[in-house]
Amino acid sequence: MVGWSYIVICEKCGYISTEKLPEENAKQLLHEHEEGSEACTTGHIKLMKVRT
């Protein structure tokens, strides 16, 4: 059976999360990256759905 996970990608700074995460954890990481960076905004940061 196919499952889905998420990775976080920032188009501004090039950040890519190193692990595949459940959706809620990926959303939390997205917000943490946004808060920890002065230049990166929600417009730059995306969740990418990946098959696991």
pTM (two decimals): 0.84
Nearest to 7 by CA among 37, 52, 43: 52
Angstrom distance (rounded) from CA 48 to CA 8? 6
In this prediction, residue 2 carries a pLDDT of: 84
Q: What is the pLDDT of residues 1-52, one digit of tens each?
A: 789 999 999 999 999 999 999 999 999 999 999 999 889 998 999 999 999 8
